[in-house]
Amino acid sequence: MKNQSKILHSDNYHWDTVPRKVYKTDTNNFKDISRYSLLGEQEDEQALNFQMRYFEIEPGGYSSLEYHRHPHSVIIIRGSGSVVLGDEVHPLHLHDVVFVSPETLHQFHADNGEKLGFICIVDRYRDRPTIPDEHELEEKVKTAQTREKIRR
Amino acid sequence: MKNQSKILHSDNYHWDTVPRKVYKTDTNNFKDISRYSLLGEQEDEQALNFQMRYFEIEPGGYSSLEYHRHPHSVIIIRGSGSVVLGDEVHPLHLHDVVFVSPETLHQFHADNGEKLGFICIVDRYRDRPTIPDEHELEEKVKTAQTREKIRR
């Protein structure tokens, strides 16, 4: 079998040959967030059943408020912030690990005056996220602190 | 669906409720390396098709020299070192990403005077590693620098 192993050398949260990408193109319920596809999207990485991405949120920014069947495995590698996870808000610091279980509403926030950067692993084949409407939000989020944190 | 999401808060490369584990119990071709299973092994994490582990190698230590069909996705989150990848040796620094493709011989070394710590993602269901014998090593590794780096 051909050796397709590789190293992506890193320099200050950028990686060889890995471009900064637009976070999402189909929705706009997010702010100041970049996406870097590190492993699992290239032709020579098809042996991977999952994808490793790096997301970086500028201070004051946030990811899309969404839920889906596929779970997320996340580890913070830069800065701090918080995450809306179902009906709760949790602070996040360096190297904290987040498991977003199936169907759990979630949104990452760089709300601590610095960037929030994290590695996120997902299945290669996965369902598309659902963006909740106002009615659904009222059903899913009962806690005032969480409702105040959410951005749409 | 039940919300089984969770945060594992980190403090200096240790995580809430995550014990340090023996690296491997079936071989002894490694030195001074610890394993922490972060996500994907617990009963309430069965939605994950992959596992997130943290490995930490003490200065002078190294992982098992091995190969297998399942690929590895690795990101360095502590210190520096190097990796034997097939017939090559590559230096590793903070946040470097390593793709170990199927059947590629590999061994991580904390050979730069400090610890080497990395996140490694693998399929939940995967084949067992093969430890090459002397004959196989001669076939697979032709480069003198790589042969000198390898520990068994």
Q: pTM of this prediction?
A: 0.96
* Residue B139 sits at the chain A interface (C-beta within 8 Å): no
Spans of chain B, pLDDT less than 50: none
Whether A1 shows a pLDDT value over 70: the answer reads no
pLDDT mean over A70-91: 97
Contact status, residue B136 vs residue B107, Cβ threshold 8 Å: no
Report the residue of A5, A104, A139 to disrupt the B interface, i.e. the one with the largest count of B CBs within 10 Å: A5
**Residue located via tokens 């070394």:** B109
pLDDT mean over A32-54: 95
Strand ranges inside chain B, DSSP E? 6-8, 21-22, 31-39, 50-62, 72-79, 81-85, 88-92, 97-100, 106-109, 116-123
Q: Nearest CA of chain A to the CA of B88: how many Å? A: 10
The answer to whether the CB atoms of B5 and A50 lie below 8 A apart is no
CA dist., res. A49 & res. B107, Å (int): 22
Residues of B classed as catalytic: 120
| Predicted pLDDT at B24 | 80
What are the Cα distances from residue A101, in Å, to A60, A74, B22?
A: 25, 11, 28
pLDDT mean over A84-95: 97
| Predicted pLDDT at B28 | 79
ipTM: 0.95
Whether A90 shows a pLDDT value over 70: the answer reads yes
Helix extents (H) in chain B: 134-140, 144-149
Compare CB distances from B101 to A4, A50, A101 and report the shortest one's residue.
A4
| Predicted pLDDT at B41 | 92
Report the residue of B14, B45, B49 to disrupt the A interface, i.e. the one with the largest count of A CBs within 10 Å: B49
The tokens for B23 are 């690296």
| Predicted pLDDT at B1 | 62
Chain B from 110 to 129: CB within 8 A of any A CB = 119, 121, 123
Indicate the residue type of A109: H
Closest C-alpha among A111, A78, A37, B119 to residue B108: B119
| Predicted pLDDT at B27 | 76
pLDDT band at A26 (very low <50, low <70, confident <90, very high): confident
| Predicted pLDDT at B63 | 97
Residue B22: count of CB within 10 angstroms of its CB:
8
CA dist., res. A41 & res. B134, Å (int): 36
pLDDT band at A72 (very low <50, low <70, confident <90, very high): very high
Percent of chain A topping pLDDT 90: 88
| Predicted pLDDT at B25 | 75
